[in-house]
Every structure is written in C-alpha cells, then in structure tokens.
Amino acid sequence: MLKVKELTGGYAAEPVIHSLSFDVQKGELFGILGPNGSGKTTLLHMISGIMRSDTGSIYIKDLPIQNYSAKQLARTVAVLPQHSSQTFSYTVKETVSLGRYAHQSGWLNTWTQEDERIVQEVMEQTGVLAFQDKSMNELSGGEIQRVMLSQALAQQPEILLLDEPTNHLDLSYQKDLLDMMKKWSVEKGLTVISIFHDLNLAALYCDNLLLLEKGKIQIIDTPNNVLQQERIQHVYKTEIEKHPHPVLPKPQMFIVPDKQAGDDQEIKIDQQYITQAEEYISLHSPIPLRTMSSGVTGAGTGWYDTFVNRHVNHDYNCEDHLEEMKLFLQERGFDSAETVGMMTAVDLQYAVYQFYQERDFSIFIIVTAGVGNAVDASRASEHTEDSSPGTINTWIFINAKLAEEAFIHSIVTATEAKVKALMQLNVMDFITDSSATGTSTDSVLVAATQRGTLLQYGGTATPLGKLIGKGVYECTMKALQKNQYKREAE
Amino acid sequence: MPKRSIQTYLNKKLIYLLAVAFLTSSFLAGVSIGAVSVPIMDLLNILAKEILHLPIEQTNEMYTNIVMNIRLPRVILAGLVGASLAISGAAFQGLLRNPLADPYTLGVSSGASLGAVIVLFFSFSMPIIGSFTLPVFSVSFSFATIFAVLFFARKIDRSMKVESIILTGIIFSSFLGAFISLMIALTGNELRQIIGWLLGSVSMRGWSYITIILPFFFVGVLVLMLNAKELNALSFGEDRAQHLGVNVKRRKLTILTAGALLTGAAVAVSGTIGFVGLVVPHFIRQLCGPDHKHLLPLSLLSGGGFLIFADLVSRTIIAPTELPIGVITALIGAPVFAAILMKNRTGRRR
C-alpha cells in the first residue's frame, strides 16, 4: 500500500530525516514512535503530500506520490490533524461535507446524492450525526476530534494518517478512537499510519512499529520487539521499565521517576513496627513495600505499607469474605487499598517473630501457625470437606532490593522450610494418615523495602535463601510448638 | 463558549431576498435623494425609458439629466466599489483564517493608493492601456503589497497569527502612507485632486470610471465565486486544505490575485474607503454562517447596498457640504472592528 524508499528531507538545508525505507501493507495499523524532534511529523507531512522530500521516493499503491494531483491524493490518503483551528463557526455537517471535495468534479462542484449518502454514513459511524447542525465552536475537544475524523473518512481514503490522534482526548475517547481504527483496519482493510506519543497505546493497537531516532530508523518490528527496555531507555534517554499488560500479551512501558533525596535511605523493618491487638496483629511500614502475597485483600503483587493478620473464630463463615475483610479493616482505621489482609483461626498471642541479620541485608519473619487442618499436599484430593480450621501464615519482610525472580525463589524456599518444620514435628494428615505438608488455607507474604543491596535470587544456594530457610523453619517450629503447648494446656 | 447571536441561521432564501431588497432600496434611494430630489415615479419612468428604452413619453428633462449624468453613475460606481471591497474582504478573511483581514487592514488599499498616486503625481499614461494606466497600477501595487505583507508576517511569526498579519498590514499602511504624504508634499497644483481622491469618494466620476472598474469587477468576482469551496477548505488552514485535496499553492495565488484585482480597481476609481470589506462579511457571517458559497454572493449584494447607502448619508447628512464617504464607513467600521477583536480575544481565553 505504501512504500518509502531512501527518503531524506526536512525544512531547511539540514535534513530532518535521513534515508528512511519501509513498507506498510494494506490493512495494517502502523505506528510511528520517536522522541520529540526525531522527525515523526516531518515524515507524516511527506507522506501526506504537504512537504516534498529532498531525495528518495514515496510510492502509494505502486505510484510515486508526485504523480498524484492534490485531489487524487486526497481520494487515497486522508489525514486526521492533531489540532484543528476553528476561526469561523462552520456547522458539523458543513465541516464533514468538505471531506467530499476531492470527489467532486466540474467547475461547480455539484453535490450528488452519493456525496450526501457518504457524509450521512460517516457521521453515523463516528457518532456525530446527532449534532450535525451544531456549530463547531459549541463542541468539546473530543467531539471536534470525531468531526475531523468524520471529515477524513468522508474522503473514503485507503490510507488514514493520524498525528498523535489521542492528544487532548479523555481516556474513553482515546480507547474509542483506537478501537474504531483497529476495527476498520481489520474489517475494511483501511491502512492506518499513526504517530504515537504514548508508547503503551501504540503497543496495544499497532501491528508494527517504526521507531525513529534522530531522523533515522532505529528499528521496525512488532511492538514486543521494538519496545525493549534498553532500546527505549537509550532512544528516549530516560528510565523506563517494561512490563507485560495485565490482561493482554502486549508490552507496556513504565516511566521511573528520578529518585528524590531520602528515597534511598535504608529502612529496616523489624518488630518496632508491629502492633499487636486482641483481634489482629499488624505491621505498619514507614514506606510502601513491594509485596507478593496470597492474602485476602491486597493479594498478588503490589505496593503496600500495612499488613494485617486477623484472628477469626473457628466457625467464621462469610459468603463475601473479601468485602467483610475490607469492612473490618476500615472499621479499624486501615486503608484497605494500602493493606494486605490475611485471616487465621490461630490465637494471635502465639505469633512468633524473629529478626535475622546478614552482612548487607536483613529479614524479619512473622509466623502464626495452627495445624488443626493439616494436609498432605500430595494427597489433598482425598480431602472432601472442610475440616476444622488451622492455618500457617508466613510473613517475610526483606530489607533489601529484590529482583522479581527473587520473590518467587523466596516463596519457594519459605514453603520448603515450612514443610520441613511440619515433618520435624511429625504433623500428620489424619484423613490420609500420612505426613502433612501444610494446611489447606496457608498464606505466604514476601515484602521487600526495595532499598539497599540488590538480591537477584532467593534460592537455597544464595545468602537470602539460606536466611529465609533457616528463619522460616525456626519460626514455624516455635509457633507450632507454642500452639501445641497451648492445646495441651487446655 | 461564545454563544452565537442567532442560534440557527436564517433561511438562506430569505437572506438572499433581504440582501436584494436592501440593494434595490439603497439604489432607488441613492438615485432619488439629493439636493434635488427625484420622485420615485419619475425615477422609475426615467430608468424605464433611458435604460430599457420603453416608449414612455413624458419625462422631466432636468430629472433625466440629474439621474443619467450625475446620480446613476455615482450610485452604480458606489455599488460596484462596495461590492468589490466586501467580496474581496470575505475572501481575504477566509483565506487567512482571520475575521479582521480586509483590504484596508491588510494594507492592500494603501498599496493600491500609492500606485494610483504615483500615476496622478507623474500624470503619465502607459501606451496601449491608456485610461487603464491608473487601475492597472493600482492593481499591481495592491498585488505586490499583499504578497509583501504576507511574506513579512510569515517572517515575524510562522504560525501567522491574526494579530501578526494585522500588525504587519498596519506597518505597511504607515510605510506606504509616508510615500503618499511625500508625494503630496512635493505636489503643487495637483494637490486638491490627490487629497480629494485619497479621502475616498464616488462623486463626479461619470460613466468612464464605471467602464474602468467593470472588467476587473467581473473577472475578480467570477474567480472568487468559483473558489468558494476552496475558500471553505482553506479556512481550516492551508495544510488541512491540502489534505482535503485543494491545490493550495495555485488556489491561494488565484484568490489573492482576484482579491487584489478587485481592491486595486476599487481604489483606482474611488480612493481608499475603509472597513467595508470588514463590516459587511462579518454581518453576513452572523446571519448565514461562514460557508463561502453563500457568504461571497451575499457580501457582494450587501456590500454594494451598504456603500450606496453610506454615500447617500455622506452627501445628505450636512448638505450642501459633502463628507468624504470614507468618514462614514470608518465611523461604522472601526467600532465593529474593535468588537470583533474583543470577541476574538475572549473567545480564545475560554
């Protein structure tokens, strides 16, 4: 559909873009990225016929762009401008009708039924039909953008060029516009070439991306290959973290703000931050901690500064325990959005916590353990109904900076140590009559300050793994013994 | 958000009807009223006899003389000048996306004046074109001025903001005005002619002036009318017009040429008359919206009517003394100019 060959050119003597070559296929949604001044707009101006190139050529449908007259080009290529100035207050319909200019012929430019039909159709599709008689300066920014899109579509183009189409638009308009573009590229074979400021939107919608750097092509490839962390950091000269989209297999880039004074000050999470109450034990960190956990609220990964382990009765049974837990937290002055909350039937006065110091990092472990509900994980299928509750909640606070994988290592190591403790104390699964590996409702939490030493791994071969293994084993043993002792006392 | 004064535009046919009625009544009033008033019935008879050559017997000799030799050429000239200035103002405004652009504010009128004054000062006439020397010079100078103004405005401010263009126009007006003053200072006996002409007037011009302006008028109006759609596209910006399929370079040149043609010719026959090109399109736009397909012809009709009316006022208000017609148009035009400017500024602040 579009072929660009060795394109060089710019405003004055100094070319803005240097020998760009690329192809765009019919029906493709093609994104152009690049920092300010990298030549994105210049390139788009050349493709839209506003600017001439110094050397090189642009082929549209296999014909050089110079062979097109202004009208011919407008019948093939339409542009959605970034801003549109409204000096005079044309009505919406008058504005959209101008899109038919290139299709009208003769000195009098007669308005045909065909013109009218198409104008009605595109106004319908872009949702501006309802206010077609309104004046343009009565519209909001999003509405104006839709009218301009409608005008561009009235040209019945095969290629649609967009210059930062989502600029000045609300989130929902951004999504609507790009969803519409995607739909048309798929259903009608419309080729869409768009400049994007927002790398994440480009990643979500584009089939291919062209990354410009100082007027040259850095890379043309699929979003996942273009949006590599190192590449984007290099081209945009800024701190960026790449992360997958939570629900789609698309990459997303996150800006990392510069550290402020005090941001790097090390913080040691230890027992001074613990509050022990009748019905809960909580830890309130002075800074949010990077957390991976299987609690009730704040489960999964996130950043939290408050951690609550709540005591519930043996017969606690609530249909919506998440809502109930949120209510519980709110009533006690915790912000449920900032809090990881867990539950246990274990008496909280038997909680065990211990601080462990290594050479350049430290960990703080809190365990509450009951085994009334002990299960052999390998034979859990033989358990048919809930038996008496009893839970081992393991919290590990790490005063260091952890890589993503170190969180997972830590959870694995903590689990292994817990199992060892259960074995050591000969805890049995009474249903299967075999050694138990835990209870059916165990939870684990790993939270790191993300300050200080970087710990890449947390397996048992590493200092972190060793410390977690030892600590969790010891604390679980102690907690179980305390609980055992209590029961015997009863 | 500025509320439009008339929310739904008036019916187009009605506006055309009103414009034609305005022009006709101005015309009849203009021919009829004066130091010697010609009764309407006599006037109609004279027009029917002299122009349509109907067999009407009794017409008053004196009335016929006044109408045919003094009033009619004067009123027609005023109509043509007003129409030229209004339609070229509308076109300049659309092209430059600037409701304040008109031949006067852009300095085009001054350019045309300078061209005319040079011809008057050296009192020469070019071979072949003869009596058309003055309008040809006016047109050429107005053409050169508009390009110089746009060139410098672009140098000052690439985005060509409204204020930048107007400011450049004013600078050019003053600069060109200095040359005119210089020539007036150096003139001895021809002084009165130049001054009287500079103030703008359509009196005592006779039919010969109408034959001078008419060819320019027809060509200019025809060209502008054929570019109504392009003007609509251009009023969304040059890049946008290009995207819509308008050959911007060619159309822009065509429209500027036609505008300069109309302005130059109007100035050549009547001197500098300000604000007509500003006030008339502005009012029409308020009534029927900015679509040039209607804006141009309606500005044409109303511009003609407006200047005939202004001329009538200028020669009757403190009769027997005649005011220069430019005084009347400026008295009406300047406040409107200020009003548009203020509306523009508040509009942008929202």
Cβ–Cβ below 8 Å for B291 and A90 = yes
Q: What is the pLDDT of residue B180?
A: 84
Cβ–Cβ below 8 Å for A85 and B237 = yes
pLDDT tier, B243 (very low <50, low <70, confident <90, very high otherwise) = very high
Q: Is B235 on the interface with A (CB under 8 A)?
A: yes
Q: What is the pLDDT of residue A29?
A: 94
Q: Is A383 in contact with A440 (CB distance < 8 Å)?
A: yes
Entry field: residues in chain A: 490
List CB contacts (< 8 A) between A75 and chain B.
Answer: 245
Q: Is A32 on the interface with B (CB under 8 A)?
A: no
pLDDT tier, A160 (very low <50, low <70, confident <90, very high otherwise) = very high
Domain coordinates of chain B in residue numbers? 12-349
Class of residue A298 by CB neighbours under 10 A (exposed 0-12, middle 13-18, buried 19+): buried
Q: What is the pLDDT of residue B287?
A: 85
Q: What is the pLDDT of residue B4?
A: 42
Of residues B105 and A20, the one with the higher pLDDT is A20
pLDDT for B163-201, tens place per residue?
Answer: 777 788 888 988 998 988 888 778 766 666 677 677 777
Please state, in angstroms and rounded to a whole number, the distance separating the CA atoms of residues A200 and A251.
Answer: 7
pLDDT tier, A145 (very low <50, low <70, confident <90, very high otherwise) = confident
Q: What is the pLDDT of residue B188?
A: 67
Q: What is the pLDDT of residue A106?
A: 67
Please state, in angstroms and rounded to a whole number, the distance separating the CA atoms of residues B96 and B88.
Answer: 12
* Residue A35 in tokens: 């920092």
Which residue of chain B has the CA closest to A75?
A: B245
Q: What is the pLDDT of residue B5?
A: 38
Q: Is B223 on the interface with A (CB under 8 A)?
A: no
Q: What CA–CA distances, in Å, run from A112 to A70, A100, A115, A117?
A: 21, 10, 5, 9
Residue A234 phi, psi (nearest 5):
-70, -50
Q: Is A355 on the interface with B (CB under 8 A)?
A: no
Q: Is B61 on the interface with A (CB under 8 A)?
A: no
Cβ–Cβ below 8 Å for A48 and B97 = no
Q: Is B1 on the interface with A (CB under 8 A)?
A: yes
List CB contacts (< 8 A) between B92 and chain A.
Answer: none
Q: What is the pLDDT of residue A109?
A: 63
The answer for residues whose C-beta is within 8 angstroms of residue A238's C-beta and 6 or more apart is A255
Average pLDDT over residues A463-482: 92
What is the DSSP secondary-structure string of A440-483? TT-EEEEEE---SSEE---STTSHHHHHHHHHHHHHHHHHHHHH
Mean of all residue pLDDT scores within chain B:
83
Is A2-255 CATH 3.40.50.300? yes
Lowest model confidence (mean pLDDT) among A392-406, B170-184, B211-225: B170-184
Looking at the predicted structure, is the pLDDT value of residue A391 above 90?
no
Q: What is the pLDDT of residue A469?
A: 94
pLDDT for A24-70, tens place per residue?
Answer: 999 999 999 999 888 898 999 999 988 888 888 999 999 999 999 99
pTM of the shown model? 0.79
Average pLDDT over residues A163-189: 87
Looking at the predicted structure, is the pLDDT value of residue B6 above 90?
no
Highest mean pLDDT, choosing among A5-19, A214-228, B101-115: A214-228
The topology (CATH level 3) of B12-349 is ABC transporter involved in vitamin B12 uptake, BtuC (1.10.3470)
Torsion of CA A201, A204, A210, A212, to 10 degrees: 30
Q: What is the pLDDT of residue A37?
A: 85
Strand, helix or coil for residue A402: strand
Average pLDDT over residues A337-353: 87
pLDDT for A96-132, tens place per residue?
Answer: 999 999 988 766 667 888 899 999 999 998 888 988 8
List CB contacts (< 8 A) between A87 and chain B.
Answer: 97-99, 235
Q: What percent of chain A has pLDDT over 90?
A: 40
Cβ–Cβ below 8 Å for A74 and B245 = yes
The topology (CATH level 3) of A272-489 is L-amino peptidase D-ALA esterase/amidase (3.60.70)
From-to residues of CATH 3.40.50.300 in chain A: 2-255
Q: What percent of chain B has pLDDT over 70?
A: 88
Q: Is A84 on the interface with B (CB under 8 A)?
A: yes
Of residues B70 and A281, the one with the higher pLDDT is A281
Size of interface A-B (CB pairs under 8 A): 87
Q: Is A12 on the interface with B (CB under 8 A)?
A: no
3-state helix, strand, coil in chain B (%, to 5): 75, 0, 25
Please state, in angstroms and rounded to a whole number, the distance separating the CA atoms of residues B227 and B211.
Answer: 25
List CB contacts (< 8 A) between A155 and chain B.
Answer: 244-245
Cβ–Cβ below 8 Å for B285 and A88 = yes
Average pLDDT over residues B260-272: 87
pLDDT for B16-53, tens place per residue?
Answer: 999 999 999 999 999 988 878 888 888 888 888 888 77
Cβ–Cβ below 8 Å for A81 and B239 = yes
Residue B7, Cβ neighbours under 10 Å: how many?
10
Is the ipTM above a cut-off of 0.90? no
Q: What is the pLDDT of residue B3?
A: 39
pLDDT tier, B350 (very low <50, low <70, confident <90, very high otherwise) = very low
pLDDT tier, B7 (very low <50, low <70, confident <90, very high otherwise) = very low
List CB contacts (< 8 A) between B4 and chain A.
Answer: 89, 135, 138
Q: Is B246 on the interface with A (CB under 8 A)?
A: yes
From-to residues of CATH 3.60.70 in chain A: 272-489
Mean of all residue pLDDT scores within chain A:
87
Q: Is B323 in contact with B316 (CB distance < 8 Å)?
A: no
Of residues A157 and B125, the one with the higher pLDDT is A157
Residue B123 phi, psi (nearest 5):
30, 65
Q: What is the pLDDT of residue B109?
A: 85
